[in-house]
Chains A and B, each alone.
Chain A
Amino acid sequence: MKILDYACPLPSGGTARELALAFHQGRTSRVMVIPALFDEANRMRRFTVEVMRRLDIAGIDCFLPDLPGCNESLQDLAEITSVDWSDAMQAAAAQFGASHLLAIRGGGLVMPGGYPGWHYAPVKGASILRQMLRARLISSREAGREENQTQLLEVGLEDGLELGGYQLSAGMLRDLQSLVPTVSASFMIIDQEMIGSGPLWLRAEPGEDRTQADALAAVVAIGMNA
């Protein structure tokens, strides 16, 4: 496992160096993994890397780039929209010479076009947003503050909004309201039934599951050799 970086295009022009976790030996099969979004990214990180380890053993190079504003990125998330994420993933896929993509959950909402691959457990942007808004309402209520979803969104769509510790730009909120997973013949949807057991993104605490990692890696590895 290595840490590489990629030239991530900035909204204002120019580029920033963003990091990517990589299993890289210059092999021809090359999967770029697009991580889950926000809180789910934390809960799925270990699982995601476990899947990559298995792909590496199966003779496949894989890369997990940071989304700008997330993980190790120094960019300010409050300035980022989903278009910046798509552009970043496009640039990363080109630089790493990806042959395939594996998108995890909300990662499929910012997937660059033109690559075959897999989308594990797709989710709509609106569902991610709804859940983050709901978490904020629950914690506000617990703290004795009354807020409601409509008002929060109204303010957020003007000035941006902090949800679950993530400072989301107005543009990001607008994007999340309408983003839906891409449907494409060259992209296979992997649902939880194929992987088995309980979904790890639901876990209150980040967890792991070897059997699930084996299953997802197997689907990808078999698909690449087909």
Chain B
Amino acid sequence: MLRQILTDVLGLKPEQAKNFTNDTGLFGHLPELDSMAVAGLLTELEDRLDIIIDDDEVDGELLESFGALLAFAEAKQAG
């Protein structure tokens, strides 16, 4: 799901996001991923996973890598 959203946000080819590992850098690493794109990504994540992300939860660490965001989304969905 997260791979799909990143594919949509970054305009990747369908198989490209498969290469993302937990260490793949996001915000600050991908020049096209600016604050507006990240905000879109988080809002889309909320819609598709039916979760609410508080502003306090959004920090540099959360957005730094694919792994961090994935762990966060999974924890949110479970909780």
Contacts and interface: CB of A to CB of B under 8 A. Distances in A.
A134 B39 contact: yes
Interface in B40-67: 40-44, 55, 58-60, 63
Contacts of A141: 58-60
A127 B43 contact: yes
Main secondary structure of the interface of A (DSSP, over half): helix
B8 interface: yes
A58 interface: no
Given A149-B55, A202-B44, A135 B8 contact: no
Given A134-B55, A134-B58, A149-B55, A204 B39 contact: no
Main secondary structure of the interface of B (DSSP, over half): helix
B11 interface: yes
A138 B43 CA distance: 13
B11 A138 contact: no
Contacts of B59: 141
Nearest to A141: B59
A138 to B, nearest CB: 4
A171 interface: no
A204 B10 contact: yes
A138 B33 contact: no
Contacts of B41: 202
Interface residues of B, number: 27
Interface residues of A, number: 24
Interface of B: 4-5, 7-11, 27, 30, 32-44, 55, 58-60, 63
23 contacts: A131-B39, A134-B55, A135-B40, A137-B58, A138-B35, A138-B38, A141-B60, A198-B4, A198-B11, A202-B8, A202-B44, A203-B8, A203-B9, A203-B10, A203-B11, A203-B37, A204-B9, A204-B10, A204-B30, A204-B32, A204-B34, A205-B32, A207-B11
